[in-house]
Amino acid sequence: MKVIKKINNNVAVCLDNNDHELIAFGKGIGFPKMPYVLENLAGIDRTFYGINDSYFELIQEIPEEIIELTARIVDIARNYLNCNLNDNITFTLADHINFAIDRQKKKMVFNYPMAHDLQYFYQQEMEMGEIAVNMIAKELHISLPKEEAASIAVHLMNAKVADEQMVHYENHQAAVDDITKIVERELQITIEKKDFNYSRFATHLLYLLKRKDNGDEISSENKKLYRDMTKEFPKIYACVLKISDYITTTLHWRPSEEELIYLMLHLNRLYARMDCNQ
């Protein structure tokens, strides 16, 4: 196997013997000068094929123990749900779990209005979400709220129905593009649409618009959080208000304060990454 690009000390982009690109995890694989031929594969812990290169930066941001745990969750999910899952699910789900843990540490708790319906219509996915939450508690010593099982279930469902997700994106592409322009104008940044940080933000917008279509809304136990965030991030808040006005005027739906909290969290995350790169 040829190691061609370092992601971090323990992760690298490689080519197998058939010149197929893969991501390999193994202690110290990123240390030697690139490229080089790795003769002994015994030190390789995991390999992933078909990974979009926009996720390479993401891998550097997420603790390895979360990626490793998520990979095992995905392995169990494939067998438990008896289905194929999108190749990128390990990294998108790891990103979500990492963010959920960060929110939990900051005592930002959100309820998922879809949880009851998911339990009824997607029992296996919900059970798998509960298994994942229990694994996180046991191995990372972080007790996520039980509603987080619903969010993990949604990620697994989306990984199963990539074609449906693409149709959903196409239905809302104009809105996502318009909101992106609002963000660039209000925050005076240039967004690289191939960047994973933008992909993550755009995915959140799609979830928001999907909740609008379904008549669902996020609810929050953090009554104080909205006021605190408007004061702590006035620039982000002003931009979110512009987005809210656009959605209200164009899509005839006014996002709740809880939706705006979640939007501020994701927009601030995008802005911090974009601002650092400019």
- Structural domains of the chain ordered from first start: 2-50 (2.30.24.10), 64-160 (1.10.1790.10), 171-276 (1.10.1790.10)
pLDDT in tens, 34-48: 999 999 899 999 999
pLDDT at residue 128, rounded to an integer: 96
Interacting residues of 80 by C-beta distance below 8 A, sequence separation 6+: 124, 127, 128, 131
Instruction: Determine the pLDDT at residue 143.
Output: 94
Q: Looking at residue 161, what is its pLDDT?
A: 55
Q: How far apart are CA 257 and CA 113, in angstroms?
A: 15
**Is pLDDT above 80 for 69?**
yes
Residue type, 144: L
Q: What is the mean pLDDT of the segment spanning 38-66?
A: 89
Amino acid at 54: S
Residue 18 has pLDDT above 60, yes or no: yes
Residue 207: predicted pLDDT: 76
Residues 95 and 62 sit within 8 Å (Cβ to Cβ)? yes
Quote the distance between the C-alpha of residue 199 and its chain's center: 9
Going by C-alpha positions, the residue among 181, 151, 163, 162 that lies closest to residue 243 is: 181
With b for 16 or more beta-carbon neighbours within 10 A and e for fewer, the 141-176 pattern comes to ebebbebbbbbbbbbbbbbbeeeebeebeeebeebb
The whole-angstrom separation of Cα 64 and Cα 69 is 9
pTM > 0.85: no
Going through 18-93 in order, the beta strands assigned E by DSSP cover: 21-26, 36-37, 44-49
pLDDT at 164: 47
CA distances from residue 259 to 222, 238, 272, 276 in whole angstroms, order as listed: 12, 15, 20, 26
| pLDDT > 50? residue 126 | yes
In this structure, are residues 127 and 87 in contact, taking their beta carbons and an 8 Å threshold?
no
Q: What is the pLDDT of residues 214-264, one digit of tens each?
A: 776 665 556 677 888 899 999 999 999 999 999 999 989 998 888 888 899
Q: What is the pLDDT of residue 86?
A: 85
From CA 253, how far away is CA 246, in angstroms rounded? Answer: 9
Report the DSSP beta bridge partners of residue 110.
220
Q: Rounded distance, CA 79 to CA 247, Å?
A: 40
pLDDT tens digits, one per residue of 158-201: 787 554 455 455 568 889 899 999 999 999 999 988 777 787 78
Q: How far is residue 240's CA from residue 267's CA, in Å, rounded to a whole number? A: 8
* Residue pair 217/110 in contact by the 8 Å Cβ criterion: no
Give the model confidence (pLDDT) of 141-153 as tens digits.
999 988 899 889 9
**pLDDT of res. 199:** 78
Question: Over pLDDT 70: what percentage of the chain?
Answer: 88
